[in-house]
Amino acid sequence: MLLTVDVGNSHTVSGVFSGSTLLHQWRLKSDQDRTADELAIRYHALFQMADIDRREITGFIVSSVVPTLETAWLAYARSYLEHCRTEPLAVSCDLDTGITIRTENPAEVGADRIVNAVAAWDRFRSDLIVIDFGTAITFDCVSAAREYLGGTIHPGIGISLDALAGRTAKLPRIDIDTPPGEIIGTTTVSAIRSGMLYGFGGLIDRMVDLLAPRISQGRSEVNIIATGGMARVIGPYARVIELVDPLLTLKGLRLIHERCRRN
């Protein structure tokens, strides 16, 4: 079995694969001060609840945008996953992922963005854009030739809601899982919901309209895939999103591990 871990600024998503089948997944808050021993206590309890014998975990890979947690996870794997058949992997621009990074400074590209590019290319094998709804909203542009071309970064939905509530005297922090109904809000809450959902949906559509022609140069259609915690919420409000896959990053980690194991 393979343990895959995606460490974000807000949450850590992990999953255990048997072959290409995802057996279990967990989503926990990212604590930057977590040590390898603390990870062991938490995740061995999760393994036990899921009836997973950690001695059957023979591979490990992590992508992280939090350097201290990447270090902790690698230390955890080396100390507690003693049956790994290969050295625990951490995704970076230096790892052989099958994707060529065509940016000015490849080391700046977040590990999660590389992983998403790998998984999305494997899904479409075409010019494509990955939209990741995390702490930030990122657009990642990938060519049919397996080239990561770059992208854009925007404030995330949670950040925007926090700023709206924190910087205004009367506007509340709300849950946007509930649809706003009419686009013209008739209450403060419905006005915020409409602004967030239709507004971010419009952002998605506009950015894709601008980015897609630059990727394809008129060669072909550009496929659009979305992932991340808020993708399912914003998806219905953006006309361009073809597919929402909340497991995209874990799938990409599995694909990269398989490639590195073969090589």
Q: Reply yes or no on whether the pLDDT at 21 is more than 80.
A: yes
Mean pLDDT of the region 136-147: 96
What is the rounded CA–CA span in Å between residue 128 and residue 154? 19
In the chain, the amino acid numbered 195 is G
pLDDT band per the 50, 70, 90 thresholds, residue 88:
very high
Residue 68: the pLDDT is 92
Q: Are 134 and 228 in contact (CB under 8 A)?
A: yes
Note whether 38 and 3 are within 8 A (CB). Answer: no
- Residues 115-141, mean pLDDT to the nearest whole number: 96
| DSSP letter assigned to residue 217 | T
CATH T-level fold of 2-90: Nucleotidyltransferase; domain 5 (3.30.420)
3-state secondary structure of 221: coil
Rg (CA), the chain: 19
Spell out the domain ranges in the chain: 2-90, 100-246
Give me the mean pLDDT over the 124-144 stretch.
95
Q: Is the pLDDT of residue 169 over 80?
A: no
The residue-averaged pLDDT of 71-83 equals 95
| Distance between CA atoms of residues 175 and 161, nearest Å | 9
By annotation, the residues acting in catalysis are 112
**Bridge-partner residues for 100, per DSSP?**
147
Determine whether 243 is exposed, middle or buried from the number of CB atoms within 10 Å of its CB (0-12, 13-18, 19+).
middle
User: How far is it, in rounded angstroms, from Cα 110 to Cα 98?
Assistant: 16
Which amino acid type is present at position 168? T
- Average pLDDT value over all residues in the chain: 92
- The pTM score is 0.91
CB atoms within 10 A of CB 185: 16
Taking each continuous run of H as one helix and of E as one strand, the counts in the chain are 7, 11
CB 163 within 8 A of CB 192: no
Domain 100-246 has CATH 3.30.420.40: yes
Cα distances from 36 to residues 3, 44, 64, 73, 198, in angstroms, run 15, 12, 15, 6, 42
Answer yes or no: are the C-beta atoms of 118 and 255 closer than 8 Å: yes
Q: How confident is the model at residue 206 (pLDDT cuts 50, 70, 90)?
A: very high
CB within 8 A of 167, min separation 6: which ones? none
Do the domains spanning 2-90 and 100-246 agree at the CATH topology level?
yes
pLDDT of residue 138: 96
Residue 255 pLDDT: 97
**Residue 255 CA neighbour count, 13 Å, CB half:** 19
